[in-house]
Amino acid sequence: MTRDPRHSMDTSRQHDNDMEPAAVDKMVGSDTASGSLEPPIILPVINAHQDPQVLIFNLNDLKQLRNQYGILGVLLGTLSQYPQQNFFLSIPLRLSVYEVVWLVETRRGILVDQLKYRKDKLLTSKQTGKDIKVHVRKDGVIEENAHEYNFITTRNTDKEGRNEELIHEHQIQLQEYIDQYIVSNKQLSRKQFMCNYQNFKYFKELNYYISPGLKFGGDLVLYPSDPLRFHSHSIVRLGSIDLNDIIIGGRLATGVKKNYIVVDTQINSNEDHDHESIITILQKPDTPKVFSVEWAGFG
């Protein structure tokens, strides 16, 4: 059975513990879209020239991404108190390419070449007499580790906060970031990337919290609010799929009390037009086709 997912998702099952209406109404777009004065979050690109990944180490930025923008990402770090488990993780927070593009496109984030920015920031601090013990080798590598009590400790070299001049000097343009990401991920075509982002953006503009959907056999999982307070309502599969995938996905989603959503976008551009900017194509209004599936007789 297929229908418009906005009706099915609105009537989907809530968390077992009923939340107050105010908690349900607290969505992402109502806080910053109205003209916030907060500067864009620094999105540090760890390796700008090969498989560019954005990792967030700043705890305040992580909280702002989650609480204000509804960006979840994936935690990669290990908790020092509980190193032999992988259920509760810590910083850094890795952002997906679609989360990064959405943040930059909506002017909530700014891409920065982290290696160059951090190096110049440390050198600037050293030249201005800051109490930061660093050593720059001949090959340009900065050594800031100190051996104390048989442990390697990393000093906090970011006490003085943002350096706006260096941020803009080492800013990475969104077009450059996307081009390098597609080159580094050869299994992802240019047109497929644009379609996937349009689909991601469609659900993000509906104020859903979005996380990877691999554990449920999909591409995305949608939450009505913070996953720490709500169960997910829907499993999303991006792109065209065959009938067998619809049957399997519909049964699986119904078995875990969710609905199964199939979404695809037809980009109004020929993939052979390499001269056309990806940013220009992404800004064109494209409404995806969305279908939801619920398997009758299950759940």
Q: What is the pLDDT of residues 255-283, one digit of tens each?
A: 888 888 998 877 655 544 455 577 776 76
Q: What ranges do the domains of the chain cover?
A: 1-27+188-299, 31-172
Buried b or exposed e, range 134-150, using 16+ CB within 10 angstroms: beeeeeeebebeeeeee
Can you tell me the distance from the alpha carbon of 163 to that of 170, in angstroms, rounded to the nearest whole number?
Answer: 11
Give, in order, the Cα–Cα distances in Å from 54 to each of 59, 96, 103, 269. Answer: 14, 8, 12, 28
pLDDT at 172 (0 to 100): 93
CA distances from 236 to 17, 215, 216, 218, 299 (A): 24, 12, 9, 6, 18
Cα separations in angstroms, 199 against 108, 194, 229, 232, 266: 19, 9, 25, 18, 10
Contact 224, 230 (CB under 8 A): yes
Structure tokens at 45: 């690109």
Beta bridge partners of 234: 222, 259
| Mean pLDDT, the chain, whole residue set | 76
Please name which of 254, 256, 265, 266 lies closest in space to residue 292, comparing C-alpha atoms: 254
Compute the distance between CA of residue 95 and CA of residue 80 in angstroms, rounded to an integer: 22
Share of the chain above pLDDT 70, in %: 69
| Predicted pLDDT of residue 111 | 95
Q: What is the pLDDT of residues 161-195, one digit of tens each?
A: 788 889 999 999 999 999 899 988 888 888 888 88
**Residues 126 and 135 sit within 8 Å (Cβ to Cβ):** no
Angle at 127 (CA atoms; ends 125, 133), nearest 5 degrees: 60
pLDDT score for 203:
93
Q: Which helix (H) or strand (E) holds 2?
A: strand 2-3
Per-residue model confidence as pLDDT tens digits over 235-244: 999 877 778 8
CA distance 15 to 87: 21
Closest CA to 224 of 3, 61, 6, 2: 6
263 - beta bridge partners?
Answer: 238, 290
Token pair 């078995």: residue: 255
Amino acid in position 25: D
Tell me if the domain spanning 1-27+188-299 has CATH number 3.10.50.40.
Answer: no
pTM of structure? 0.75
What is the residue whose two structure tokens read 């105010």? 22
Please report which confidence band the pLDDT of residue 21 belongs to, taking 50, 70 and 90 as the band edges. Answer: very low
Condensed to tens digits (0 to 9), the pLDDT of residues 71-85 reads 999 998 888 777 777
Task: Give the model's pLDDT for residue 34.
Answer: 39
